[in-house]
A and B are shown apart, each in its own frame.
Chain A
Amino acid sequence: MSNAIPKHRARFDDPLAYLRRGVTRLYTLWISCTYPFASCGRNLSIHYPCRLSKTIAAHIRLGSSVLIGKDAWINIVSDGVQDIKITIDDNCSIGARDTISAKNSIHIERNVIIATSVLIQDHNHAYEDIGRPIRVQGVTAGGRIRIEQGCWIGQGAAIVCNEDELVIGRNSVVGANALVTRSFPPYSVIVGNPSRLARKFDPTKATWIGGEAGRTVPTESTYAASSGLTAGPMEREREKV
């Protein structure tokens, strides 16, 4: 029944949408004027409500054209050291309902897309003392996280670093609901829980290898030719190493 709506009216957005956009605009203005960020670029868009405390704003550096979605939570666990803990570079978009929690350092480089419901934290709750509830034990020392430029973090993924440094190389993709706890090289596709490398870019062949695209579908003849299952390209790569 879409024909019932006149075409010229369909060209205009719902006026209620402008209301929402106005609230976002006002809230962004309010935040960029009153919050004492370490540095703050132009053309921000911070949706209301977003959990971003004013008391921690001095530890945050925001680039230009950063988008922070609704209900995103940016948190800093204070350890008394006054330095930059969260850096979000130009053109990043932090989706709705994301959690970014830093104790040491989280650096999100340029052009990173982070989908909704993602968790990025560089520390964890300490649970080692069995005599006390986890709730009162505080957090671990934690590590540092760097997400290099051009990455795409899928919906519901969790990136948790307990120690040292976790680096996700440039132009990598993290699949939906993956749990990443270690570093990955540039140009990789990371999926699963626990996470594994599903595909990666081969610079010599200039193609992406591994995954469904690189795997041959086993037929009866392949089973006849070899006694076991045929090794996929990923396994072959591993054997070479």
Chain B
Amino acid sequence: MNKNRARKEDPLIFISRFLNKLYSEWLRLTYPFAFMGSGVSINHTCPISRLTAHRISLGNDVILKKDAYLGVSRPPEEEGEPVIEIEDNCVIHWRSQIGAKNHIHLERDVIVAQDVLIIDQGHAYEDITKAIPLYEFTEGGRIRIGEGSWIGHGAAIICSQGELVLGRHCVVNANAVVTRSAPPYSVLSGNPARIVKQYDPIKEAWVMGSVRMVETELAR
């Protein structure tokens, strides 16, 4: 094989790149997003509903890869604040799902890897006399994921009540199931997830296990 040709990309890939660009522009022109920054790239396979697009806010340079799903379980006629807020430079990789009823907020520079689930509600199962209904959800909570965090492959972040806050610069390992808040600069792992590593501001190093830390200490 000619070396020059090997360096070049497969021409088939340009078809999908062209489609993505076209689809992103189509969304920008016809969808009533609460906010859509510049340089947003949305793959043409992303199932986003136009009826609830006014509750979604996308910052600058947000990338939604193939099959990434942003779902709003709110009646389409309802007006109000955005329930999904994705700030600048976030990347949501293949097949990740964000399902919001109350509020899900991804701050700047968050990486969401493949197959991740971020959901702030659950199916209501308490009534034992009938099958668990498909379109009835629990009250749910609110989720905020701090600036610069990284959610690993296959992780699930589920908040069935109250508020779940992952502080800034958190790392969620692959296949972890997070149901509780975590302070900034923590590494979470396992099912159920626990803190396996944390940044110690006094030693200025990452240490195994959980360190009690005050956010004001880090702010100095």
Contacts and interface: CB of A to CB of B under 8 A. Distances in A.
Interface in A140-177: 156-158, 160, 177
Q: How large is the interface on B (under 10, 10 to 19, 20 to 34, 35 or more residues)?
A: 35 or more
Given A158-B154, A194-B190, A134 B171 contact: yes
B125 to A, nearest CB: 22
B154 A119 contact: yes
A73 interface: yes
A127 B8 contact: no
Interface string A175-199: 0011100000000000011100000
A227 interface: no
A194 B114 contact: no
B38 interface: no
B94 A73 contact: yes
A168 to B, nearest CB: 16
A58 interface: yes
Nearest to B3: A36
Contacts of B95: 71, 97
Contact of B10 (A54, A97, A134, A157): A54
B102 interface: no
Interface stretch (B73-81, B128-136, B157-165, B172-180): B172-180
A3 B168 CA distance: 60
A92 to B, nearest CB: 20
Contacts of B12: 30
Contact of B114 (A119, A157, A192): A119
B1 interface: yes
Contacts of A160: 173-174
Contacts of A57: 6
Interface string A58-82: 1000000000000101000000000
Q: Is the interface of A mostly helix, strand, loop or mixed?
A: loop
A117 interface: yes
A179 B173 contact: yes
Given A97-B95, A127-B150, A134 B109 contact: yes
Nearest to B149: A134
A158 B148 contact: no
Contact of B7 (A55, A125, A128, A133): A55
B150 A158 contact: no
Nearest to A37: B1
Contact of B89 (A49, A135, A177, A194): A135
B6 A193 contact: no
Contacts of A178: 175
A99 B8 contact: no
Contacts of A132: 148
B174 A36 contact: no
B75 to A, nearest CB: 32
B85 interface: no
B111 A55 contact: no
Given A34-B10, A35-B10, A135-B109, A177 B150 contact: no
Given A119-B114, A134-B149, A156-B115, 19 more contacts: A34-B10, A53-B9, A54-B9, A57-B6, A97-B94, A99-B114, A119-B154, A125-B150, A127-B169, A130-B185, A133-B109, A133-B148, A135-B89, A135-B109, A156-B154, A157-B175, A160-B173, A193-B189, A194-B190
Interface of A: 30, 34-36, 49, 53-55, 57-58, 71, 73, 97, 99, 117, 119, 125, 127-128, 130, 132-136, 156-158, 160, 177-179, 192-194
Interface of B: 1, 5-10, 12-13, 16, 66-67, 89, 91, 94-95, 108-111, 114-115, 147-150, 152-154, 169, 171, 173-176, 185, 187, 189-191, 199, 206
16 contacts: A36-B5, A36-B6, A53-B10, A54-B9, A55-B9, A57-B6, A71-B94, A99-B114, A130-B185, A130-B199, A133-B108, A133-B109, A135-B109, A156-B154, A179-B189, A193-B176
Closest 5 CB pairs of A and B: A133-B148, A133-B109, A158-B174, A36-B1, A54-B10
